[in-house]
Structure 1
């Protein structure tokens, strides 16, 4: 179930700033009208002065028009600034809301860096669109009014100008087309650079540790030549249009002035009207102004198209059903999910009884994190459905779904001003006692109390390791009551002793828990283990039962778990898990011993801190 996509972002900005845009257009058009009156007034004043008649009144009118033009230009500048600011704010709010509604889908499709480029740069450029469009309408009034004024002075003046007008129209059309293509290419390259930069910033520690700063710098800046070429093309297009306008415009102006001279010689118009005609010819050929406004509108339109690519993505919609009372029973029925054209999960059927603990294990790339995301509807399956206490997640209201499901991640995004705010993030009425209790469950209380101001310490002033960040993320999850608790590799950075203590809190009676596990100790403490292999659910059972399979043991060995370091590599086995072939007689007793001993070792690690400390020493 998806929510219909948003409309054209530029139209949204225009509707949001409609009144101010109308005022801007009216002020700009009034300024254009005043500019059209000024040549006629000056021409009349000149005729009176040449005739020796009193001209003070007309000179005063010309001065008043000049003052009015200055005032109107100032008002237009203020209005354009406010329209730009409001339109940009509206577009950024629209895009931010859409990205949050899309959730992980937005980053998966566009990349975090490109999204930032669209939100910051493209939204600001698109925000200039309404004001630029209003200014363009006013700018069009100048040439149109100039032609009309020429016709009023003498029809032949308008005829001469209109004879060359099609050439100007063709120039403007070509300019608009070429500018649009150049701007689109420029913005796309900008987005690629931003995406590469975001990746490099995100992995800066790994880059520094590997000594690959120069190589990564070259990778991020590799598209710069393309950006330069696109920029140069934009300048060439604008320069070519200006040059053509400079060529065609003066020729038309000269033709109009020449005809006005002939009309003056025949006493059909006066000297003042010749002056007015020369000014109106300049206004009528105001291609330079039109080129600038058209360029602004074209750039805004190209940016709006990039915003529209995000807003056009259908966001998931929520239903109207409420969750009935229940223990948090989770069901996946025929769930299939594809990413990048590849089927990651294929027909998964899984039931997690309410209040139980399920560990999800599997090699890298088998879909563990995707299954965790589906469990709380951070993403939707391509086929099948996910139910919580018998209700499909897609049918639940947004508030019911988010109250029922709590997440903790391997790399939590810590949001909030202080450490206390971070743990309470999302709570309607946070309780200081509840926040501290959650921190104790996550083994974060001692770390927080060592900070300069304890819980009120600013998050920016709280240095923390990866494990400490995970503990804050776990504390935030513990602080949010719900009936389903999903941990996506959220214990991976904890040492074995801390993991043991956090797991004890997780194993206490409470909500249903789904834990993406990499360590045997975590899997051994779960009620049930779901083993993913190749996108399918290979087996469901207790850890002790599955441990008899050498391929299951190899899952943990491949993940670097020391408790599975002696696990044999996958070999052909019979139904009991013993090797087949010539090595059967020699290996079968050893395999049976491992199958019996390793689950016992895992159980001891779950029950004895001393064993957990020994595990940590081997990491």
Structure 2
């Protein structure tokens, strides 16, 4: 959650291009040190030949040092701006690739191309400015260094005239002065070090993010999976996006979280399983605060399924088995059957051993594999964050029935957009503007006009179909769930 201010493309650039540039810093420093050995050795040798000539050269070195320092400062600012613009282009490109189908259907490819490449002119200007700074530094050092050599030779000539140096000494002074002039070539290597330094700074911004801290507690054995949210507040950019207090979800029940877009449903789902920590308050599972659990205890008892699951590039079986603990092959197949994925998986060329890059999967099939992975690792709490959005209503109902029959009993938190899903739940948590508007059963809340409006057009027909089919499975449908917090706000349905 702490990485939220950084777009995915920016993070990708920091972890690839910037990390590679930062990794080149040791080699650049070593090369710079090696390049300075000869000039410094020549300066020492010059002092042995004649101290006054060496002092003459030393008086010019501060000017050269100021030149290089100015180059490093100006180059650092330009490199930082260049890398920021590079990340902006990468972020926009990634957004466009993720929405390629929408862009193609809308016929906005040209507009999107212009949006992605809009910062390219600025990137080019910054690149040209970097080369201009580099050329300016080389040009100035190219003037200053010969002047130092000339001054050293002139002082050597005066010392020769005074009888303090021999002709051979004067010849040596000229050669050593030329070798000392090699300091000016450090500008190129210094530029590489500056680029590495700025790249390192960008990667360190991610490295300095504190890792999620875990406790030492474990859950009590054979707990039902009771979930409680006490004084929970989540802030984004100083704005409150979620406030939930005093909500208790009985263990073993299914809770549907509903609300309009932006109501805080996904934030609540993330808080419930500690994908993010609330800014205030605590979440408890079977009486133990989530932030006090060990990593193993938390991740073996809380499973997630998302709208767009990331399955990796292994086999189908490996994608389903990925988790804190590796399930058996039979458990993987059982989870796939519960998610309605077993049929199409068996039709793949190598079944469960088919590599995912070679498996042509539809959006719904992709989503069902994500569900299967969650089912294979289901513990006391299973969170489905819009994880059935690509399934049709009938398939979604079949998955729900299989989930109740085949998957380990536990508490289920389901982000719902269809009234049929809410109707099958034991309890509905209705969010509005990040706060709990009401808690009750779907049928109780349906009498509130605002609740019906959450589901949009066609919701009443869907709900009527669910009512005709009779009460859905589960202990609380059509009635209250014992011990649940209830805050209904009745509003008579309009005719």
Whether 1:366 and 2:233 are equivalent positions in the alignment is no
Instruction: Map Cα deviations across residues 457-499 of structure 1 (whole Å, 9 max, x no partner).
Output: 1100111111111100001111113110000011111011110
Q: Structure 1 601/344 Cα, relative in aligned 2: closer, same or farther at 3 Å?
A: farther
Distance in structure 1 (CA, Å) of the matches to 2:243 and 2:378: 32
Aligned-residue CA RMSD (Å): 2.0
Q: Is the 8 A contact 1:442 1:475 kept in 2?
A: yes
Match of 1:417 in 2: 314
Instruction: Map Cα deviations across residues 332-379 of structure 1 (whole Å, 9 max, x no partner).
Output: 011111123321112433111111111111111000000000011000
Give the deviation of 1:314 after TM superposition.
Answer: 2.1
What is the TM-score when the length of structure 2 is the normalising length? 0.91
Match of 1:139 in 2: 35
Match of 2:454 in 1: 555
Q: Is the 8 A contact 2:145 2:184 kept in 1?
A: no
Whether 1:524 and 2:420 are equivalent positions in the alignment is no
Give the deviation of 1:141 after TM superposition.
Answer: 3.6
Distance in structure 1 (CA, Å) of the matches to 2:469 and 2:170: 101
Where do 5+ consecutive residues of structure 1 fail to align?
1-103, 567-593, 608-619
Match of 2:441 in 1: 542
Q: Is the 8 A contact 1:524 1:606 kept in 2?
A: no
Where do 5+ consecutive residues of structure 2 fail to align?
475-495
Which of the numbers 319, 341, 348 marks the counterpart of 1:451? 348
Stretch moving more, 325-334 or 337-346: 337-346
Q: Structure 1 147/288 Cα, relative in aligned 2: closer, same or farther at 3 Å?
A: same
Whether 1:177 and 2:73 are equivalent positions in the alignment is yes
Structure-to-structure mapping, 1:595-614, within 5 angstroms: 600-601=467-468, 603=470
Q: Is the 8 A contact 1:525 1:603 kept in 2?
A: no
Distance in structure 2 (CA, Å) of the matches to 1:206 and 1:320: 47
Q: Is the 8 A contact 1:193 1:223 kept in 2?
A: yes
Q: Is the 8 A contact 2:424 2:471 kept in 1?
A: no
Give the deviation of 1:175 after TM superposition.
Answer: 1.0
Which of the numbers 273, 282, 300 marks the counterpart of 1:403? 300
Structure-to-structure mapping, 1:199-210, within 5 angstroms: 199-210=95-106
Match of 2:371 in 1: 474
Whether 1:284 and 2:151 are equivalent positions in the alignment is no
Q: Is the 8 A contact 1:544 1:599 kept in 2?
A: no
Give the deviation of 1:105 after TM superposition.
Answer: 3.4
Q: Is the 8 A contact 1:530 1:541 kept in 2?
A: yes
Whether 1:330 and 2:201 are equivalent positions in the alignment is no
What is the TM-score when the length of structure 1 is the normalising length? 0.73
Match of 2:290 in 1: 393
- How many equivalent residue pairs? 471
Which of the numbers 338, 349, 356 marks the counterpart of 1:441? 338
Query: SS of 1:286's equivalent?
Result: helix
Structure-to-structure mapping, 1:224-303, within 5 angstroms: 224-264=120-160, 268-303=164-199
Give the deviation of 1:506 after TM superposition.
Answer: 2.6
Instruction: Select the structure with the greater relative contact order (CA < 8 A; seq sep ≥ 6).
Output: 2
Give the deviation of 1:549 after TM superposition.
Answer: 1.0
Whether 1:490 and 2:357 are equivalent positions in the alignment is no
